[in-house]
Amino acid sequence: MTTSLPPDISQSLLQRFNSVRQRSVDYCAPLHPEDCNLQAMPETSPAKWHLAHTAWFFETFLLKPYLRNYQPFHDRFEYLFNSYYNGVGSQYPRAQRGLLSRPTLDEVLHYRLHVDQSMTTLLSQVDHPARQDIIRRTELGVHHEYQHQELFFTDIKYNLACNPLAPQYRHHEGLMPSVESADAIRWETFSAGLISMGNDAHNGFVFDNETPVHKRFLAPFELASRPVCNAEVLAFIHDGGYRTPSLWLADGWAKVQQEQWQHPLYWQQHDDHWKVFTLHGLAPLNPADTAVHLSAYEADAIARWLGARLPDEAEWELAAQSLPVQGHFLSGTGLLQPGRADATPLSQMFGSVWEWTASSYAPYPGYRAAAGALGEYNGKFMCNQLVLRGGSCVSDPEQLRPSYRNFFYPPDRWQFSGLRLARDGDSI
């Protein structure tokens, strides 16, 4: 939520604004209005709600405070599409978003149009006294929309998966060329020392939870060259991993028993083979593919079974600091799956899957949340969640950085989440 401003960025910002806004709409194109209203669990918002809420964000934090004479599209939308900003007001209950058949998809698209036109007006007011705030908040709104585009895919996947008809979001030829196993994991070694981590945005946009830059002392460690792949999860399953309490955290084992977990989310066992539900339809499970849709509990248990552990987020960030944001992304592959677990050293640190870390999501030393309702963006969630790093196949590479911190609850599985192994290094 902090940006260093180049002198004149309004044109490029407007272009990015328009391009990102359009893409949210484009993503809904393969869906029917009924699909866009689905909410299969409280955490998975309807696609239509994502469309409306991202418009609400610009309306609430830019148009209402800064655009003179702005007419809100509908006086109840402030309430209906507020996600969790108590500073703005009360919120329509999250778990019931799927009951909002009205406004219809068409009306929401009109709402977006209304907001986009007003934003174009606002962004063209180069002499606006709050120009800097407007640019900063617009930048934030664009990154907010990146996040919801990613949630769009994670949510619609879960929502469609509940249907026994296993509907496709979009057909894709040659989904997963069959490869039996990924290359063996190699270990990248890192020595002990005081490192600097975090990001103060001297070089572009960052969220407040990445600030401030601060020091951490790290013991020597090693990090795996690639994420864990399906072949390794299959071996875990065949070895009774889901029935062996000693491999699990206590809360994880309780969840395994309560939910009767026997395999990752979206896996289906058919007699002697496995299938997996994807946004391209049911597909054979490819052992060489990166394992995805794991809870942190499963990630932790699989790591333990493999004689390793999850990395600390500082370890992960150190390893990533010099790497380009490259990997398997939807924008490159057209695939809504993580694809093959590559063997190049530290491959796919970005793209493929969000990688669970062992780090609790907490403020960095010296962290200050922004003032006002926008201060609720990140800070109030810094409890009970774990940090995930990198980015997944459905992230936009534009939104990612080595310092980017994603966060979910340990039992959550519907994200495109997997793991990369770490282990203690030699204390020479």
Asked whether position 259 contacts its own copies by CB under 8 A, the answer is no
Asked whether position 253 contacts its own copies by CB under 8 A, the answer is yes
Asked whether position 95 contacts its own copies by CB under 8 A, the answer is no
Site for its own copies in 166-225 (CB under 8 A): 167, 194, 214-219
> How deeply is 393 buried, as exposed, middle or buried, from its count of CB atoms within 10 A (0-12, 13-18, 19+)?
buried
Rounded to the nearest 10°, the torsion over CA 72, 77, 79, 83 is -110
2 closest CA partner among 147, 143, 150: 143
Residues 6+ apart with CB under 8 A from 44: 38, 154, 155, 158, 159, 414
- CA–CA dist 242, 261 (Å, integer): 7
Asked whether position 328 contacts its own copies by CB under 8 A, the answer is no
Q: Which of 63, 98, 207, 286 binds its own copies (CB under 8 A)?
A: 98
Complex with its own copies: residue 165 or 184, whichever CB lies closer? 165
Q: Could you tell me the smallest distance in angstroms from the CB atom of residue 298 to its own copies?
A: 13
DSSP states along 167-198: --SS--TT-----S-PPPP-EEEE--EEEEE-
Q: Which of 9, 14, 25, 40 binds its own copies (CB under 8 A)?
A: 40
- CA–CA dist 53, 51 (Å, integer): 6
Rounded to the nearest 10°, the torsion over CA 143, 23, 52, 82 is -10
Complex with its own copies: residue 63 or 100, whichever CB lies closer? 100
Asked whether position 307 contacts its own copies by CB under 8 A, the answer is no
From 91-99, 132-140, 233-241, 336-344, give the range in contact with its own copies by CB under 8 A: 91-99
- CA–CA dist 251, 298 (Å, integer): 11
Complex with its own copies: residue 274 or 356, whichever CB lies closer? 356
Site string for its own copies, 363-402 (x = CB under 8 A): x-xx--------xx---xxxxx------------------
Q: Could you tell me the smallest distance in angstroms from the CB atom of residue 360 to its own copies?
A: 3
Complex with its own copies: residue 203 or 246, whichever CB lies closer? 246
The tokens describing 417, both together, are 């989440």
Q: Which of 28, 36, 229, 292 binds its own copies (CB under 8 A)?
A: 36
Asked whether position 86 contacts its own copies by CB under 8 A, the answer is yes
> What is the DSSP code (8-state) at residue 409?
-
Asked whether position 420 contacts its own copies by CB under 8 A, the answer is no
Asked whether position 80 contacts its own copies by CB under 8 A, the answer is yes
Complex with its own copies: residue 184 or 250, whichever CB lies closer? 250
DSSP states along 45-102: --HHHHHHHHHHHHIIIIIHHHSTT---S-TTHHHHT--S-TTT-----GGGGGG---
Asked whether position 268 contacts its own copies by CB under 8 A, the answer is no
Site for its own copies in 156-175 (CB under 8 A): 159-160, 162-165, 167
Q: Which of 104, 147, 321, 333 binds its own copies (CB under 8 A)?
A: 104
Asked whether position 105 contacts its own copies by CB under 8 A, the answer is yes
> What is the DSSP code (8-state) at residue 2?
B
Total site size for its own copies, rule CB under 8 A: 68
Number of other residues whose CB lies within 10 A of the CB of residue 135: 18
- CA–CA dist 12, 210 (Å, integer): 24
Asked whether position 87 contacts its own copies by CB under 8 A, the answer is yes
Asked whether position 270 contacts its own copies by CB under 8 A, the answer is no
Q: Could you tell me the smallest distance in angstroms from the CB atom of residue 179 to its own copies?
A: 32
Asked whether position 231 contacts its own copies by CB under 8 A, the answer is no
> What is the DSSP code (8-state) at residue 229?
B
Cis peptide before 103 (omega within 30 of 0): yes
Asked whether position 243 contacts its own copies by CB under 8 A, the answer is no
The residues facing 276 across adjacent strands are: 267, 283
SS3 216: strand
Complex with its own copies: residue 184 or 217, whichever CB lies closer? 217
Binding site for its own copies (CB under 8 A): 32-38, 40, 48, 76, 79-80, 84, 86-87, 92, 96, 98-105, 159-160, 162-165, 167, 194, 214-219, 245-246, 248-253, 296-297, 300, 312, 358-360, 362-363, 365-366, 375-376, 380-384, 410, 424, 427
